[in-house]
Structure 1
Amino acid sequence: MTRPAETRGRDAGQTLTELVVAMAIVGIVLAVALRIVVTVTQQTAQTQQRLAATETARAALADIDRQVRSADLITVDGSRTRFRVRTTADTRSTPGTRRCVEWDLTPAGVLRSRSWDETWTVGAASGGPNAWRQLATGVDVSAATVGARPPFSDGSPAGAVVVVDLSVLSGGDADPARVTTTLARRNQPPAGSTPCAIPAP
């Protein structure tokens, strides 16, 4: 039996040049696809960080809002990075009794709060401030941000309204997540009442 003669032509296979060109094209397509995947992954991570930062700030504002609305007095410090209220909404108090609650934005960008009995005076043995409770981290405290938009400022009328403006940094994102609200107390201060005693920071 004899075999038919093999034909040489296009059916014989690919040349080395054709294989190199095909591999280069596949490599370029894979590099572009990989870059797209990396970019989408980075953007997704930044979006998730921004959402987490915004949610943290909103949760802190919800805590502030609940206590400010039940307050009868709001005092914003001159630095405008700290303010106090006298409120009946603090969870550590007996229902209907008033406590002083203070919020502070530290130079490290930590928003924190603490409370103490309304009747406490500096130097008294009991009823003083409890430990600071951390509400949010990563709050933008740069001079440009705080100077242009202070975190806490008096609204109108003073002592009844506070404007809270927080910019929360979120990882590698250049633009901070900004949460702003105006809160007003609902109660009137009792006749002859005085502002809360101010404990040491």
Structure 2
Amino acid sequence: MDRTDQLCRSVDLAVAAVRDAPVERYADPSPCPDFTVGRLVNHLAFGLLLAERSATREPWDETWSVDDDAPFLRGLRAEQWARACARQGERTASAWTDPAVWDGDSHLGGAAMPAAAIGSLMTAEFVLHAWDLAAATGGRLEVPAGLADAVLAGVAGIAPMGRDGGWFGPEVPVPADAPAFERALGLSGRNPSWRAPVSA
């Protein structure tokens, strides 16, 4: 599994997690303290759009704010979000299939970065948030070994910056011999044992 395959597989997992998140659970909490399930779906939607723009080098629209709904979700009912995310996921994955896209510099939301670093970061982002959605809605996420290794490497590369920027919480201790994806979860500040609260 090369880096293109890894990113495309991460997009597939994210889109599947959005599809499997029931709309009636959108107000529920998620492992990300700042996001309900619905806001997490929106965050993933924005990430899919950002990743496509990074691949195509199309500029970030200065009128966009990640605090708002993703542009392609605006005006849609929540029941339509999953299908819209699936369409955007296809565009995002397709944009990263050209090997040349990984070369040189690009941008992520306006911030200049090496394209390969963006691809690695977004691969980790999509899988981590797919797990967040699955955990929040009682589902399971199966991450292939090669992809899990890539996610761990991606998280390890940005963990200090992620904590400084508030994207990651404090590291959650995980056994050194735990599977790679569990170690990635812990390194990103997630508890691999997190479960959605049970309603009274």
Question: If the TM-score is normalised by the length of the shorter chain, which range does it land in?
Answer: under 0.3
Structure with max Cα Rg: 1
Greater share of helix: 2
Normalised to the residue count of structure 1, the TM-score between the two structures is 0.23
Normalised to the residue count of structure 2, the TM-score between the two structures is 0.24
Which structure ranks higher in relative contact order (CA pairs < 8 Å, sequence separation ≥ 6)? Answer: 2
